[in-house]
Amino acid sequence: MLKSFKSITLFATGIAVSLSMSAPATAAPEPTWRSDIAPIVAKCDACHGASAPEYNDWMQLDGAKRKTVAPRMDTYPHFMSYVVWPATGAMMRRLDDGSSAGGKPGNMYQYLGGTDEERAKNLKTIKAWLGEGAWNLNRFKAKGDVPGINKEQLEKIKAKY
Ligand code: HEC
């Protein structure tokens, strides 16, 4: 009895040691919505904050109104609805600096910061948070020559809360 207890303890200690050894000592913590992204998206609050209409209500507005009113995107689930669904890729199309969108930055890129440097830094943070290979501008369905998003692309999304 005592012997098996001892060996279990030894076994558990062994697991703990190997777990702690396998974690790279210098790895930067993974970016999260709460610590890294929410503070950036706060820059959008003046137009996209808690009092802005829900996406689905916004979609019901007529075309002219939809150009001047902004849909809500101040929480994690709101934000993700412009990444995944229903507004698949809208976040990437609007925030792109032009490098994925044929040279022309998306019209919301300007709000990522007051200087080129700050905008570039914030975009880099958002891209890293979404995950490598997750910055895709595709819509849910194909449009013209651009195919709809596929499952492999969606699987790249990390976007830790
Ligand atoms: C000065 C007001 C204003 C600010 C600040 C602003 N936006 Fe917008 N945004 C709008 C308006 C108005 C629209 C709707 C008109 C349009 O489509 O361009 C819009 C549309 C969008 C859309 C498209 C939604 C869709 O489904 O088509 C996205 C994505 C977006 N904004 C992201 C952002 C992000 C992220 C920020 C902050 C970095 C931001 N915006 C800052 C006013 C603003």
CA-wise closest residue to 55 among 76, 82, 75: 82
Q: How confident is the model at residue 28 (pLDDT cuts 50, 70, 90)?
A: confident
Residue 151 Cα, ligand 1 centroid: separation in angstroms?
A: 26
CB 74 within 8 Å of CB 45 = yes
Mean pLDDT over residues 98-113, rounded? 93
Report pLDDT digits (tens) over 49-62. 999 999 999 999 99
pLDDT of 111 over the 90 cut: yes
Q: Is the CB of 89 under 6 A from ligand 1?
A: no
Cα gap 111→103, rounded to integer Å? 18
Averaged pLDDT, 72-85: 98
> Tell me, what's the pLDDT at 18?
52
Q: In this model, does residue 146 exceed pLDDT 90?
A: yes
Which atom in ligand 1 lies closest to the alpha carbon of residue 90? 29
**Cα(70) to centroid of ligand 1, in Å?**
6
Q: What is the predicted pLDDT for the residue at 102?
A: 80
Provide the Cα torsion 132, 24, 120, 44; round to 10°.
80
| pLDDT surpasses 60 at 153 | yes
Chain centroid to CA 146: 22
Q: How far is 71 from 74, CA to CA, in rounded Å?
A: 10
Burial (CB < 10 A; 0-12, 13-18, 19+), residue 7, is: exposed
| % of the chain with per-residue pLDDT over 90 | 79
Residue 68 alpha carbon, nearest atom of ligand 1: 12
Summarize the confidence of residues 100-129 as an average pLDDT: 96
How far is Cα of residue 12 from the mean position of the Cα atoms in its chain? 37
Nearest-angstrom CA–CA distance, 42 and 153: 27
CA 13 vs CA 44, 82, 108: distances in Å: 48, 45, 52
Specify the pLDDT at position 40: 98
Section 40-67 average pLDDT: 97
Cis peptide before 24 (omega within 30 of 0): no
Q: What's the pLDDT at 3?
A: 57
Mean pLDDT of the chain: 90
